[in-house]
Amino acid sequence: MSKKIVHYINQFFAGVGGEEKADIKPELREGVVGPGMALNTALKGEGEIVATIICGDSYFNENLEEAKATILEMVKKYNPDLFIAGPAFNAGRYGVACGDIANAVKEELNIPVLTGMYIENPGADMFKKSLYIIETGNSAAAMRTAVPAMANLALKMLKGEAIGSPEEDKYIPRGIRKNFFASERGSKRAVNMLLKKLKGEEFVTEYPMPDFDRVEPNPAVKDISKAKIALVTSGGIVPKHNPDRIESSSASKYGKYDISGFNDLTEADHETAHGGYDPVYANIDPDRVLPVDVLRDLEKEGAIGELHKYFYTTVGNGTSVGNSKAFAAEFAKELKADGVDAVILTST
């Protein structure tokens, strides 16, 4: 008899709709939906998806406790041998939802869990220490490689077999170290690695270092009193009613807005779209996040040359590194073309 699996997917992979359906509440369907079909095939009859839970990415992330409680009750109904979420690839809100609900199923129901996502998905960074996350490509085009890897690890979990190394079972390293007896002592292994490095040969370190993305600072502004200064924020300040519908989490876009007619931002004309902090104080006075009022004062005093007429804004909450870099690369060209000398980047 095959083992029971409950599968979690978002509105897009369920075929319900895209961003316009991201607010749908959790719903339970018997059997297989969407990518579950490929997973079921890859499990070769040793595991079967008996139910699929579908939830909108926005709904899950904006109603965390309610969504988790509802989904946990749905999972309990089937008492599965394994819970699989995703894969989410590089979809930030989906990745965070997969990680969050998988972690809740593991902690509260004591059921083995598995998910999959791209290494730069914010969900991967948040949950890699507590979950097995199969490393996938950055888009659904990588489904054909993600499914076999997820199925292989799922079968190991269903059979109660020992999980191998991240390289062997293709999951994102969790930072867990285990003692083992090596055939050669450390000094010899270290010398062998050094010789390989000197010869330009490939070698694998036994102690990988964290990968920090270091940015070299630019030279100081020569004369700030003549400089054109621009404002950029990841704090989500947007014109009232968020005209471009920048998402409250895992943003897929940024906004460019004209502030040439403003000396002060107020709750009548601007607000925050950010879903990761209490918006009350930012909505009462958006200058707290985007200091237009202070820079206008400095402009009048001659302390700076001028404030650039446009500001650029997005939401940093759960937004992937890839998207963030792409946004900046795009609008940095515009800032340079507009003769901006320096940028003040505000967060929250």
Instruction: With cut-offs at 50, 70 and 90, classify the pLDDT of residue 62.
Output: confident
Give me the mean pLDDT over the 217-226 stretch: 93
Give me the mean pLDDT over the 300-309 stretch: 96
Helix (H) or strand (E) holding 203: none
User: Given a cut of 80, is residue 318 above it in pLDDT?
Assistant: no
Question: What is the predicted pLDDT for the residue at 277?
Answer: 84
Residues 142 and 247 in one domain: no
- Highest mean pLDDT pick, 12-21, 215-224, 226-235: 226-235
| pLDDT one-digit tens code per residue, 81-96 | 999 999 999 888 899 9
Question: What is the predicted pLDDT for the residue at 337?
Answer: 97
Going by C-alpha positions, the residue among 89, 122, 105, 95 that lies closest to residue 5 is 105
Residues 13 and 147 in one domain: yes
**Cα 5 from Cα 157, distance rounded (Å):** 11
Residues 238 and 335 in one domain: yes
**Cα 313 from Cα 291, distance rounded (Å):** 13
Q: Is residue 314 part of a domain?
A: yes
Q: Is residue 124 part of a domain?
A: yes
- Cβ atoms of 292 and 299 closer than 8 Å: no
Residues 254 and 333 in one domain: yes
User: Given a cut of 80, is residue 210 above it in pLDDT?
Assistant: no
Residues 11 and 140 in one domain: yes
Give me the mean pLDDT over the 9-31 stretch: 92
Which of 133, 159, 185 is a domain's end point?
A: 159
User: Given a cut of 70, is residue 266 above it in pLDDT?
Assistant: yes
Q: Is residue 180 part of a domain?
A: no
Q: Which position has the higher pLDDT, 83 or 18? A: 83
Give me the mean pLDDT over the 74-87 stretch: 96
DSSP letters, 209-247, are PP-----PPPPPPS-GGG-EEEEEESB-EEETT-TT---
Contacts of 27-31 with CB under 8 Å at 24 or more apart are 27/53, 27/54, 27/55, 28/52, 28/53, 28/54, 28/74, 28/77, 29/53, 29/54
Token duo for residue 317:
């909450």
- Provide the domain count of the chain: 2
Q: pLDDT over 90 for what percent of the chain?
A: 75
Instruction: With cut-offs at 50, 70 and 90, classify the pLDDT of residue 122.
Output: confident
**Cα 42 from Cα 189, distance rounded (Å):** 39
**Cα 319 from Cα 249, distance rounded (Å):** 7
Give me the mean pLDDT over the 336-347 stretch: 96
Chain centroid to Cα 93, Å, comes to 6
Q: Is residue 260 part of a domain?
A: yes
**Cα 213 from Cα 28, distance rounded (Å):** 41
Q: Is residue 342 part of a domain?
A: yes
Which of 105, 127, 159 is a domain's end point?
A: 159
178: Cβ–Cβ under 8 A, 6 or more apart, which residues? none
Least confident of 2-11, 57-66, 183-192, 210-219: 210-219
Q: Is residue 155 part of a domain?
A: yes
CATH number for position 106: 3.40.50.2300
Residues 147 and 20 in one domain: yes
Question: What is the predicted pLDDT for the residue at 18?
Answer: 84
User: Given a cut of 90, is residue 27 above it in pLDDT?
Assistant: yes
Give me the mean pLDDT over the 132-148 stretch: 93
**Cα 34 from Cα 233, distance rounded (Å):** 37
Which of 112, 142, 159 is a domain's end point?
A: 159
**Cα 96 from Cα 342, distance rounded (Å):** 34
Q: Which position has the higher pLDDT, 139 or 302? A: 302
Q: Indicate the pairing of strand 306-313 with strand 255-258.
A: antiparallel
Within 13 Å and on the Cβ side, how many CA atoms surround 163? 24
Question: What is the predicted pLDDT for the residue at 205?
Answer: 87
Instruction: With cut-offs at 50, 70 and 90, classify the pLDDT of residue 1.
Output: low
User: Given a cut of 90, is residue 267 above it in pLDDT?
Assistant: yes
Question: What is the predicted pLDDT for the residue at 212?
Answer: 75
Domain enclosing residue 33, as ranges: 3-159
Residues 125 and 245 in one domain: no
Q: Is residue 332 part of a domain?
A: yes
| pLDDT one-digit tens code per residue, 232-249 | 999 999 999 999 999 887
User: Given a cut of 80, is residue 208 above it in pLDDT?
Assistant: no
**Cα 193 from Cα 311, distance rounded (Å):** 50
Residues 155 and 273 in one domain: no
Coil, strand or helix: which one is 35?
coil
Q: Is residue 318 part of a domain?
A: yes
Least confident of 97-101, 183-187, 247-251: 247-251
Least confident of 218-232, 256-270, 320-334: 320-334
Question: What is the predicted pLDDT for the residue at 211?
Answer: 72
The neighbour count for residue 75, using CB atoms within 10 Å, is 22
Residues 152 and 228 in one domain: no
pTM of the model: 0.68
